[in-house]
A and B are shown apart, each in its own frame.
Chain A
Amino acid sequence: MSVRGTHVPEHLRLPIAGVTPPPTEKEGQRLFPTGNFRFFRPVYKDKTPPCNHACPTGEQIQKYLDYVKHDRYLDGYLTILQDNPMPSVTGRVCYHPCETACNRAAHDEPIGIRGVERFLGDFGLNLAENPIKKELPPLNGKTVAIAGSGPGGLACAYHLRRRGYASVIFETLAKPGGMLRGGIPAWHLPEDILEAEIAKLLDLGGIEIRCGTRVGDGPDGVTLDHLRTSYDAVFLALGQDVGRRLDVEGAQARGVIGAMEFLRETGLGRPVRIGRDVLVIGGGNTASDAARSAIRLGGGEATIVSLEAEDELLIQPEDLDQARDEGVGFRPNSALVRVLTDAAGNVSGAVLARARLAKDGHGTVTPQITPGTETEVRCDTILVAIGQVQVLGWLPAHYTERGLVKADDFGRVPDEAGTVFAGGDVMRGPSMVVDALGDGKRAARDIDRVLSAGPLRPEDPVEVMPYEKLNTAYFRHAPRTEAPLAPAGTRRSSQVTEVTLAYSREQALAEADRCMSCGVCNGCDNCYIVCPDVSVMRDTRQNGHYSIRTHYCKGCLVCVQECPTGCLEKVPEMDFDEPDAVVRMETAFAPYDGAHAEQAPFTRQLIEDAIAEYDASRSKSKSIHPNGQGVTP
């Protein structure tokens, strides 16, 4: 509108479009505060992605995948280190509950999180200096005793160190690592990787590992009472490394070996004799590891004899596939009835029978052998992988329950002082490396709370983002990049050739790129782009730094509809009751604060005058009213 040549009185010179800054500019939005159109407000509310929730250590997986996406490997590595001290280890051996929980499984295939973790872990191992070392707090003078140098003990020591505590780890074996060394074969987890991760922990300072020292009643004299009195707190991460024994005829024969013991001796690099014809009794991951190690060592054949049916095996699916590729045989639904021995007392064969696992209503399983189906098979070694226990006789009786250490919700052992904690297999029974790592992390946090006289409190409840709440239209289908494998032929002949190989940089990037960032803002700019009213502010381009101009946003909720990750939510405007949450105007339509009403003095005066005049006329009309009645305004 042109105003040239026209006299416009001062009070009518309102800003008009084209002359004043348009609403697409910040100043222009101040002129038209249309926030009072809104009855729902878009709010950025990050939720917990399922991977993060499923990980016992609570790794912020979405966050480090996002860093990998942006080539920020050091940031990604540091993100992992907040929760997990050894990504190179878990990147190789973890049974990845994160991938099982991944929402991408409902979309196409879960993300290869473990491979990316390994990529970042190896990146971190190759750094000249541990990047967290200079950020650690100084030691506070308190020392915690840790029994067991497995993943639980190491994680606890690491997280205690991050909080300023020193620790002493007692390890029975000659080398630290616990199950990582004695339970996981080198072709899963190469020894140098484990050594490097442990060296990295020791390099932090304040962590001491005393190998060859057994805690308990042994000759070393390191008793529980000694630990309780000499240290500020105790963490029991003893693990379960004693294999269950067979109770069948001939079980004492030479050549019947516990799979745990077999794996431990192999892992410690001691010479182990194994035959060429091996039977492995058991249907779990230990059975699979033992069978595959036996093939590598003896160069012969190994057969897994399990009560479980083929589809009930408790072996991790990818391990099962790899075992099949390596030629491991399977005899599902079978039970060992008797071990046959030759004259010298060596194993010469076994009698197997058809069997199945009968489940009762309480979930307990009992083997049921079908009589009359016995068959004889030839073998020279029998590896027993029917579960593990731990010798806990040296602990006070009220510490233990059914072969496990008893602990409350905070991992605290029923001890008067309240400073004895437990975690890992010895508390929960055979479980994953990452479970022990998580227990160690939580124990360190709770030990810190107890020693600093803080209250122990349960974890805050979290909202896990379901697949259904994502805007899946934004995610194109992309196949998962499987981690490359060494050829089966090479694998069979070497105890040290790693089976699963690393992602290349491109592969890690491709996998990270598939992350849908469930429920967490990853700064994709979509809200910024789709907002028809330019109400999304992006003053910094960093992750998650958007804000809504509440004085201008009309609440159309296009941003909520179009948020790919679902981190934007609509919240009823009435839920915001803080004083500055009110976008109140003097009239319904105010070009700027007070243009129409009270704040503009001249306009206000006009209205006040009009009202006064009106009032005066009404009170005058009172007396002249035809029916003589007064008017009560």
Chain B
Amino acid sequence: MYHELTVWSRGIIMDKEARDVSTCVAAAARRLGYYAENVSDYVDDPDRTNCLVRRYARFADTPILDRFVYENPHPDWVVLVEETIIKAVNFFRSTRDGQGVLVINSARDPQYLLKFLPGHMLAKLGRLVVVDATGLAEQRGSSPWMFVRDLSELAFDRMSTEGAVERLAIGRGIAAPLIGALVAATGDLPVDAVAEVVADRDAMLRGARQHTVVQYARES
């Protein structure tokens, strides 16, 4: 078993969510005895607000030999922390045909979302998982904009202090239901075991229960 997870997000204001998804998946995999890696973004100018940024994780039941390759060569799990990324970038570059599991944080109809994928990306899509993570996440404060944190919380992200200690618990807010949907829809990691490493365990389990799966490619 070998999986590559690429989480696409937006610079600074949604960086934390993407980071938490990849961190939790990698941490849970390692606790389960797999070999796992979790890599930050080095190519996308991640210190720009709103720009597209990535986080990578991969895990295998055998040692990962090329540990210094940080860009996932063949991502088969792709998570979009925010729905408009579906029309923003080719996140299925080098994904193998029919292998891609795409998890989108969206409250929209999966068929509507599929309209945005061109033919060459649909060829790579195996399964589409739509989860309204924003709706399932725990509300923080009164702002309807679930991504916002105050400036002091954002400070580390804003300064691109890669490798700094997390100031907030890992796996809260929008990240938790996203992890739940991803883990439940792929089925390679046990949901309960992953829930152990997610700070907002309830929201994670909500995501694991409440999501829509569209099996796009024929199952092999």
* Interface residue A399 (Cβ < 8 Å from any Cβ of B): no
- Please determine whether B44 and A614 come into contact, CB atoms closer than 8 angstroms: no
**Shortest beta-carbon distance, B73 to chain A, in Å?**
5
Q: Which of A102-110, A231-239, A577-585 contacts B (4 or more CB under 8 A)?
A: A577-585
- Please determine whether B2 and A633 come into contact, CB atoms closer than 8 angstroms: yes
What separation, in Å, do the CA atoms of A633 and B73 have in the docked complex? Answer: 10
A-contacting residues, B94-110, CB 8 Å:
94, 96, 106, 108
- Please determine whether B94 and A588 come into contact, CB atoms closer than 8 angstroms: no
* Interface residue B206 (Cβ < 8 Å from any Cβ of A): no
* Interface residue A537 (Cβ < 8 Å from any Cβ of B): no
* Interface residue B215 (Cβ < 8 Å from any Cβ of A): no
Q: How many residue pairs, one in A and one in B, have C-beta atoms under 8 Å apart?
A: 93
- Please determine whether B63 and A589 come into contact, CB atoms closer than 8 angstroms: no
- Please determine whether B66 and A37 come into contact, CB atoms closer than 8 angstroms: no
* Interface residue B192 (Cβ < 8 Å from any Cβ of A): no
B-contacting residues, A598-619, CB 8 Å:
598, 611, 614-615, 617-618
Q: Which of A132-140, A499-507, A621-629 contacts B (4 or more CB under 8 A)?
A: A621-629
Partner of B62, one of A555, A587, A614, A631: A631
Say yes or no: A581-B82 contact (C-beta < 8 A), given A555-B50, A614-B69: no
Give the chain B neighbours of A589 by CB distance below 8 A.
43-45, 51-52
Q: Which of B19-27, B83-91, B126-134, B178-186 contacts A (4 or more CB under 8 A)?
A: B83-91
**Shortest beta-carbon distance, B93 to chain A, in Å?**
7
Give the chain A neighbours of B118 by CB distance below 8 A.
584
- Please determine whether B62 and A625 come into contact, CB atoms closer than 8 angstroms: yes
Give the chain A neighbours of B175 by CB distance below 8 A.
none
* Interface residue A195 (Cβ < 8 Å from any Cβ of B): no
Give the chain B neighbours of A621 by CB distance below 8 A.
65
- Please determine whether B84 and A633 come into contact, CB atoms closer than 8 angstroms: no
Task: Return the chain B residue nearest A578 by Cβ.
Answer: B115
Give the chain A neighbours of B54 by CB distance below 8 A.
588
**Shortest beta-carbon distance, B154 to chain A, in Å?**
17
**Shortest beta-carbon distance, B114 to chain A, in Å?**
11
**Shortest beta-carbon distance, A633 to chain B, in Å?**
6
* Interface residue A496 (Cβ < 8 Å from any Cβ of B): no
Interface residues on B, range: 35 or more
- Please determine whether B93 and A597 come into contact, CB atoms closer than 8 angstroms: yes
- Please determine whether A584 and B87 come into contact, CB atoms closer than 8 angstroms: yes
Give the chain A neighbours of B94 by CB distance below 8 A.
611
**Shortest beta-carbon distance, A382 to chain B, in Å?**
67
* Interface residue B53 (Cβ < 8 Å from any Cβ of A): yes
- Please determine whether A585 and B88 come into contact, CB atoms closer than 8 angstroms: yes
What separation, in Å, do the CA atoms of A39 and B13 have in the docked complex? Answer: 13
Say yes or no: A627-B62 contact (C-beta < 8 A), given A589-B43, A614-B69: yes
**Shortest beta-carbon distance, A572 to chain B, in Å?**
8
Give the chain B neighbours of A598 by CB distance below 8 A.
93
Partner of B51, one of A37, A577, A617: A37
* Interface residue B10 (Cβ < 8 Å from any Cβ of A): yes
Say yes or no: A629-B62 contact (C-beta < 8 A), given A37-B10, A574-B83: yes
Give the chain A neighbours of B2 by CB distance below 8 A.
631-633
- Please determine whether B73 and A39 come into contact, CB atoms closer than 8 angstroms: no
What separation, in Å, do the CA atoms of A632 and B62 have in the docked complex? Answer: 10
- Please determine whether A574 and B62 come into contact, CB atoms closer than 8 angstroms: no
What separation, in Å, do the CA atoms of A98 and B45 have in the docked complex? Answer: 54
Give the chain B neighbours of A38 by CB distance below 8 A.
50, 84
Give the chain A neighbours of B43 by CB distance below 8 A.
587-589
- Please determine whether B93 and A586 come into contact, CB atoms closer than 8 angstroms: yes
Partner of A585, one of B63, B84, B89, B108: B89
Task: Return the chain A residue nearest B11 by Cβ.
Answer: A37
B-contacting residues, A1-56, CB 8 Å:
34, 36-39
Task: Return the chain A residue nearest B69 by Cβ.
Answer: A614
Greatest chain A CB density within 10 A among B8, B43, B65, B87 is at B87
B-contacting residues, A274-317, CB 8 Å:
none
* Interface residue A554 (Cβ < 8 Å from any Cβ of B): yes
What separation, in Å, do the CA atoms of A597 and B118 have in the docked complex? Answer: 17
* Interface residue A525 (Cβ < 8 Å from any Cβ of B): no
Give the chain B neighbours of A625 by CB distance below 8 A.
62-63
What separation, in Å, do the CA atoms of A165 and B93 have in the docked complex? Answer: 65
- Please determine whether B116 and A582 come into contact, CB atoms closer than 8 angstroms: yes
Greatest chain B CB density within 10 A among A582, A587, A588 is at A588
B residues lining the A interface (CB < 8 Å): 1-2, 8, 10, 43-45, 50-54, 60-63, 65-66, 69, 73-74, 82-90, 93-94, 96, 106, 108, 112, 115-116, 118
What are 25 A-B interface contacts by the 8 Å CB criterion? Answer: A36-B85, A36-B89, A39-B84, A572-B84, A577-B115, A583-B88, A584-B87, A584-B89, A584-B118, A585-B89, A586-B89, A587-B43, A589-B44, A589-B51, A589-B52, A597-B93, A611-B73, A614-B73, A617-B65, A617-B66, A618-B66, A627-B62, A629-B61, A631-B2, A631-B60
5 smallest beta-carbon distances between A and B, as pairs? A36-B88, A588-B52, A588-B44, A37-B50, A582-B87
A residues lining the B interface (CB < 8 Å): 34, 36-39, 554-555, 572-574, 577, 581-589, 597-598, 611, 614-615, 617-618, 621, 625-627, 629, 631-633
Q: A583-B87, A587-B43 are in contact. List 12 more A-B contacts (CB 8 A).
A: A38-B84, A39-B83, A573-B87, A574-B84, A584-B90, A587-B89, A588-B53, A588-B89, A589-B43, A589-B45, A614-B66, A633-B96
